[in-house]
Amino acid sequence: MRVLFATAEAYPLAKTGGLADVSRALPLALRKLGIDVRLLMPGYPRAYVRIENPRIVAKITPALGVDDATLVEGTFPETDLPVYLVDSPSLYRRNGGLYQDDAGKDWPDNALRFAFLAHVGAEIALGRISLGQEWAPDIVHANDWHAGLLPLYLSLHSGPRPSTIFTTHNMAFQGNFPADWLTKLGIPGACFQAAGVEFYNQISFLKAGLRYADRVTTVSPTYAKEILTPEFGCGMEGVLRQRREDFVGILNGIDDSLWNPAVDPMLPRTFHLSDISGKRACKAALQQEMGLKVAPDTPLIGFVSRITHQKMADVILEALPWLCAQDVQFVSVGEGDPAMEAGFGQASELYSANASVVVGYDEPIAHRLQAAADILLAPARFEPCGLTQLYALKYGTLPIVRRTGGLADTVVDATATSIADRSATGFVFDEATSEELISALGRALSLYREPLIWRRLQLQAMAQDFSWDASATQYAALYSAASGMPVDLGAKDQHVVLADQESTRQAAI
């Protein structure tokens, strides 16, 4: 089976968040199952310089007013994952971010930048762009609003076409643009209606994906239920309810070639389930790096996140005065909303004895902080899946999360019962208020003072199996159902592997 996986970002070529992690890890996990997945993404300069063996494989026929595009094929660094970059200097070669300029303003031509990505995906899918070899996908897997027009463009084709899957990683990002883009993007007027791409009189790329794909997925089972309701559906709950039969939530996993404390090259010392002493060394090194007192027994609380309303950064700011009055240390690395970023900056000045804040995006610090911290703050008002809490678990750092979306699916609250039955892995609270956050922090800090229990919780957290294997198998089954093509998953072997992991997990606990 051949799959074209269309995405706007993929680590380490280009990343602003979890989509990039998934866009690398899931295709690699699917390739392990024998599925020939290839990536399609925009040819940002940063991606171009990072792929291996780049070569131009096709000149792209002018379309949507874009006449400078070629298709560049390469492979992901240190993997066998093929990637096609749409190289259009006018659309993607510019200084600034993936979606915004340096001042944080959306690029004014984002509609065209991502419609063109979708257009090229459709042309490849229909065999109209020759890749210099016999390769055409059986499945097109489009991710987030950026690739939302791809299922629509393919649905306009009357002949045979690959089946389409659309995954929404976050319903709050919708790619809505004024209706006068319609003709420029090659969308027939007939599609501009409530049963099509029209959303409050705009063109919605997200809605296009949800409406026109053969199957729709999101990234956790709980978020899949939540977004059928007005509270979480961001206005698209009706659209999703109509797709109920074709809609499923599949939990994200951890790419343990990148996020694994036993081999992570970004850590000063590695550690693993049977010997976590290296975690102490990581803590001491980070305390030093952040200008904090090297204090092995002071609880270190980390926050690695976009600084946004979704991630409850405002509520964390409210809780900081209380937190910093305790005998703890707080370290954060994050960027996002300028006013809240400033708030974190001020807090680190005000509480310089025990708080240290990095404003910005820094992958190595994110790894070092996950390894060094005792507790990770990972609350959210809504969370499609969330990866940082999964990384925390793997690094023996107990997460504090709100009971929503993928956070609810992945963290087990430490209560008397769950501590006794050894299922507890973190701390979960319900309301998005600083009182509830503080109360969860209070519970975490009191358990921290009980080293034997704490150690057991850490080991339970580290022993959780959030590897991609199981989720990739679910995607493979979905591809198979959508295309009618059998996929040979070596199901027997798969079972043996999963059973082995389970027994290792039980033994470790």
Q: What is the dihedral of CA 32, 37, 40, 41, to 10 degrees?
A: -20
Q: Which is nearer to ligand ADP, 11 or 212 (CB)?
A: 11
Angle, helices 434-448/451-462, rounded to nearest 10 degrees: 110
> Are the CB atoms for 455 and 508 separated by under 8 Å?
no
The site for ligand ADP (CB under 6 A) is made up of 17-18, 21, 304-306, 333-335, 361-363, 366, 385-388
User: Quick one: tokens of 51?
Assistant: 């792929």
Report how far apart, in Å, the C-alpha atoms of 368 and of each of 163, 265, 283, 363 are: 41, 10, 8, 9
Q: Which is nearer to ligand ADP, 173 or 475 (CB)?
A: 173
Q: Which is nearer to ligand ADP, 71 or 313 (CB)?
A: 313
Q: Which is nearer to ligand GLC, 252 or 464 (CB)?
A: 252
Per partner kind, with CB cut-offs from 5 to 8 A, the member of ligand GLC, ligand ADP, none near residue 366 is ligand ADP
> ω before 12 within 30° of 0 (cis)?
yes
60: three-class secondary structure by DSSP: coil
CB of 278 to ligand GLC, least distance (A): 27
Say how far apart CA 410 and CA 470 lie, in whole Å: 14
Sign of the CA dihedral with 126 first, then 130, 131, and 135 last: positive
Per partner kind, with CB cut-offs from 5 to 8 A, the member of ligand GLC, ligand ADP, none near residue 226 is none
The site for ligand GLC (CB under 6 A) is made up of 17-19, 22, 169-170, 219, 252, 383-387, 406
Q: Which is nearer to ligand ADP, 109 or 256 (CB)?
A: 256
Q: Which is nearer to ligand GLC, 143 or 397 (CB)?
A: 143
Per partner kind, with CB cut-offs from 5 to 8 A, the member of ligand GLC, ligand ADP, none near residue 334 is ligand ADP
Per partner kind, with CB cut-offs from 5 to 8 A, the member of ligand GLC, ligand ADP, none near residue 42 is none
Residue nearest to ligand ADP (CB): 18
> Are the CB atoms for 110 and 98 separated by under 8 Å?
no
Pairing of strands 202-204, 176-178: antiparallel
CB of 9 to ligand GLC, least distance (A): 10
Per partner kind, with CB cut-offs from 5 to 8 A, the member of ligand ADP, ligand GLC, none near residue 219 is ligand GLC
Nearest to 271 by CA among 426, 395, 453: 395
Per partner kind, with CB cut-offs from 5 to 8 A, the member of ligand GLC, ligand ADP, none near residue 304 is ligand ADP
CB of 333 to ligand ADP, least distance (A): 5
